[in-house]
Copies of this chain bind each other. A is one copy, B any other.
Amino acid sequence: MATLNDIGVAAAINILTALAFFLAFAMLRIQPVNDRVYFPKWYIKGLRSSPLVNGSAFASKFVNLDLRSYTRFLNWMPAALQMPEPELIDHAGLDSAVYLRIYLLGLKIFGPIALTAFTVMIPVNWSNNTLEHSGLTYSDIDKLSISNIPIGSHKFWTHLVLAYGFTFWTCYVLKREYEIVAAMRLHFLASDQRRPDQFTVLVRNVPPDPDESVTELVQHFFLVNHPHHYLSHQVWSLTSTLKIIPSSITFSLLQLVYNANKLSELVNEKKKIQNWLDFYQNKYKRNPLKRPSLKTGFLGLWGNSVDAIDFYTSIVERLSRDICGEREKFSSNTKSIMPAAFVSFKTRWGAAVCAQTQQSRNPTTWLTEWAPEPRDVYWENLAIPFVFLTIRRLIAAIAFFFLTFFFMIPIAIVQSLANIESIEKALPFLKPIIEVKFIKSFIQGFLPGIALKIFLLFLPTILMMMSKFEGFISLSALERRSASRYYFFQFINVFLGSIITGTAFQQLNHFIHQSTSQIPKTIGVSIPMKATFFITYIMVDGWAGVAGEILRLKPLIIYHLKNSFLVKTEKDREEATDPGTIGFNTGEPQIQLYFLLGLVYAVVTPILLPFIIVFFALAYVVYRHQIINVYHQEYESAAAFWPDVHVRVVAALIVSQLLLMGLLSTKEASQSTPLLITLPVLTICFHRFCKGRYEPAFVRYPLQEAMMKDTLERAKEANLNLKGFLQNAYIHPVFKSADESDSESESESEWERSPALVATKRTSKRFTPMPSKDGGSVVSLDQVNDECLKP
């Protein structure tokens, strides 16, 4: 049992660690040589150019010699907070802005709760002597917790009333936040520029037809079932001949989804070779006297010496031919066309209608749903038939169940194998080294843990693979699904696993053989005892972890390694920086764990709350800085994850209520049970209300909004060429990344024309692949074919 002093020491250590991280960050970030690591977002946006190019003195290119800048080493904090929210949304997208609101939500919920708990509950807890007289060992922290109240005391009414108070406050804040986020989402969608996904619907499970190709089938189906203009009946009788563009048709633009693995390989190969070509061309440009040459053998160490530029040029040409050949195969081979299509509509209204309605008699064919944003599409999953989806979900659910409850078994096996004796047996020549005492104790202490650590490191990846297997069609959905699984895993194995020691499977077995009313009691009783453990956990994982996040040690090292050894061209350097993303699938479950801890301990051991508040405040500042300067958005889902966030906080609330009930029932305050049982019931009702009231804003697209935007657009831009805008929006990345440089000039002029909010000097194609207007920056299929015809 830790005393207040112990906690103080641990806090001091962690605060110092965090400060050290911040200091290191402050030093590193102002060095020009690290500029690309700490400000990649601005490079991507094109608002910052490399200091390596326009620096003056050689030394100042790498080291910051301006000593004044070192004195202001914490000035990034106010800077991070300065950018107002609307600008932040423009700068980093709504997803990021709303993600930050999760931290704010934590502050809003726990600030007033902590205040109330400290003024009311701690004095009540402190003014008893139960623990002193009990003869048990106890710490000062326990004196502040509910454990200090004598059994059967009337003081438990304080906790009961506060449990109600905290529940109502949490629900109030949650509701307000849901309301605000829903409004933000709708406002974002409404004020957002024209985007292809507003007009596009993804159609899956197109039924096979012996007479028509998928393309024709889709076109006919939507011609018939979503006529928009129709004037009179005559038009209908004419539509049988497709020559007459029927007036009953909104153009349905088909961009079929290809199954293209080999092609994708070729494209990647070409990209690599092209990079080498660029490298040698640059070299030649810098030193025009000597034409670079290379050897064709292994690693360029031996073999014939050839002219490097000619050599790579010929390879690039060959690959281009192969790619064209593959593409033509696709065009002619109908088997490679998957039964899925992106169908675009003339108006947002038409798309909203198509996405929300059932198309065909058989509800498993012609499945329509909103198309995700072009960069959000997960192409691999587009063609999974309905039946397989059901089976895949079942398999994934079972796999996840076993992963959660039985993951300890393989790890325990690995641990039992990976001991000194078996290593010595397998690799006898290592014996002398291992037998050295220091190394031996190190291995013995380290080895068993490493299997678990590696597993936990790979867990998000495993969960993401599961989600992919389940068949979600957008990256955002994949991340949401992984996040909820990760949260459940953490709830079972971190939260419950820490409270009741033992593996998850032992718990499960325990619970199955225990009465239903016993479970909350078992857990509830252990809760106050684990407070100090969780306080330490918060400081290590929360405080130091967040401070470590800002240092970006891993990307820093990787960037410098790559920069020293691999980077050949400017493009390579661009690619060497990994800006990273928010990482919703791992970040959000972590925050949710703090919500859970805060809500559970709010009534039991309120001393834990300040630690959580510090975490939320710190994380808010750090992540705001990272979002502004570092992370690059992979996709924009317009805060589609908020319902998940909301439901998890509500679940944490219900868990906290049930555990409090279990705890109080062991304190012989069972007259409070009926009052405590109503709390989860009320909370569930609150959730249902919120679900009905706000969730549709995240799932459906109201027709009124769609119509409003359509009308406005028609009034403002009467002669809009929507067809051109949508033509190449949804193209498989393989076709798209074909020939980027060709269309660069086009795309730039396009960017200048469009009313961009941030002045953009140049655009990196790799990071902003899709939202270019009129599809000018990407090569359409026609263009590609034209190109193929050239020798």
Contacts and interface: CB of A to CB of B under 8 A. Distances in A.
Given A390-B689, A515-B512, A186 B361 contact: yes
Interface string A358-374: 11110110100000000
Contacts of A236: 711, 714-715
A515 B517 contact: no
A704 interface: yes
A513 interface: yes
Given A233-B714, A515-B515, A714-B236, A705 B352 contact: no
Contacts of A359: 702-704
Interface in A333-358: 352-353, 356-358
A516 interface: yes
Kindly list the 7 A-B residue pairs having the minimum CB-CB distance in the complex, ordered from nearest. A363-B696, A358-B700, A356-B357, A512-B517, A390-B689, A358-B702, A360-B704
A515 B514 CA distance: 4
B692 A386 contact: yes
Nearest to A718: B233
Given A186-B361, A359-B703, A702-B358, A692 B515 contact: no
A451 interface: no
Contacts of A357: 352-353, 356-357, 700, 702-703
A761 interface: no
Contacts of A702: 357-361, 363
A688 to B, nearest CB: 6
Q: How large is the interface on A (under 10, 10 to 19, 20 to 34, 35 or more residues)?
A: 35 or more
Interface string A493-512: 00000000000000000011
A789 interface: no
A359 B352 CA distance: 10
Interface in A168-200: 186
A692 B514 contact: no
Interface in A188-235: 221, 224-226, 229, 231, 233
Contact of A715 (B225, B233, B697): B233
For A186, A513, A694, A702, which residue has the most chain B Cβ atoms within 10 angstroms? Answer: A702
A512 B393 CA distance: 32
Complex copy number for this chain: 2
Contacts of A316: none
A235 to B, nearest CB: 11
Contacts of A707: 224-225
A715 B714 CA distance: 33
A553 interface: no
A359 B696 CA distance: 11
Contacts of A700: 357-358, 363
A693 interface: yes
A692 B390 contact: yes
Contacts of A224: 704, 707
A92 B693 CA distance: 40
Contact of A693 (B363, B515, B704): B363
A59 interface: no
Interface string A697-730: 1001111110100010011001000000000000
A244 interface: no
A367 to B, nearest CB: 10
Contacts of A705: 361
A394 interface: yes
A236 B713 CA distance: 13
B394 A685 contact: yes
Given A356-B357, A364-B693, 12 more contacts: A224-B707, A233-B714, A357-B700, A358-B696, A358-B701, A363-B700, A386-B693, A391-B685, A394-B685, A513-B516, A513-B518, A514-B516
A85 B236 CA distance: 36
A457 interface: no
A360 B398 CA distance: 40
A387 interface: yes
Nearest to A517: B512
Contacts of A390: 685, 688-689, 692
B387 A689 contact: yes
Nearest to A693: B364
10 contacts: A224-B704, A224-B707, A229-B231, A231-B231, A233-B714, A357-B703, A386-B693, A390-B692, A512-B515, A512-B516
